[in-house]
Structure 1
Amino acid sequence: MFDKMKQAGSLMKQMNSLKKKIDKLETLSESKDGKIQVTIQGTSKIKSIKIDDELLENISSKDLEKNLINTVNDALNNAEKSSKQIMSEMTGGLNIPGL
């Protein structure tokens, strides 16, 4: 019984450590032309979006929207991959539901 409680405590420590690592994670993605940069946190929240002023002078709103959507989606995918990598390293490759 005591061993099970000890294991549960150890697992909770690992989970807290995992959460902290993912919370600190930041992923930067750029558009193909490098004129848009999106930074996503490990929690899948957008931290920043930077758009080069020069791009705004030479692009239609429709093209800007497409470029922005593609860059944000790329950043989200990269953040998800990085989070999964951290989880895999912390859990020894175990596939734990909900993580």
Structure 2
Amino acid sequence: MAKFGGGFPGGGNMNNLLKQVQKAQKQMEEKQKELESKNYEGSAGGNAVKAVVTGKKELVSVTLDQSVVDPDDIEMLQDLIVLAVNGAIKQAEEEAANLMSELTGGMNIPGMF
């Protein structure tokens, strides 16, 4: 039977593994803070409606062009706002997913970001 140094394939030991995990965890925490501090903008109606959310997916602002404010068509305005907010949230989620993929080498770790 083959014997591996330190009980791990390739001769590694538990201390090195723990150091790598701690380093990766620290990098993820730093990147998470960086993402949370960023703003993401979504728009709809040819930029007539703009929404800004943080990396925490909190709505910061909504900007409306006068051309979309029609008292006779409130439903269209509501739809445009929803589209703009969802677009901003999607941008934040995509950046977080891309970052996680970079940090984990493409492994899908449940519950991360």
TM-score, structure 2 normalization: 0.73
Greater RCO between the two (CA within 8 Å, min separation 6)?
A: 1
2-structure distance, mates of 1:32, 1:62:
13
User: Which residue in 2 is equivalent to 1:34?
Assistant: 47
Distance 2:22 2:41 in 1: 35
2:18 paired residue number: 5
Q: CA deviation at 1:98?
A: 0.6
- Counterpart of 1:68 in structure 2 is 81
Give the paired residue count. 99
Greater radius of gyration (CA):
2
- CA drift of 1:57 comes to 4.6
Structure 2: distance between partners of 1:59 and 1:18: 45
Q: Equivalent residue of 2:51, what SS?
A: strand
Q: Name the Cα RMSD after superposition.
A: 2.0
Residue 89 of structure 1, aligned match among 88, 99, 102: 102
Residue by residue over 1:44-75, the C-alpha shift from the partner in whole angstroms, topping out at 9 and shown as x without a partner, is 11121111234225762111111111221222
Shift of 1:21: 2.4
The match for 1:43 is: 56
Percent identity at matched positions?
26
Q: What code does the residue aligned with 1:97 have?
A: P
Compare 5-14 and 66-75 and name the one that shifted more: 5-14
Give the Cα separation in 2 of the matches to 1:32 and 1:51: 10
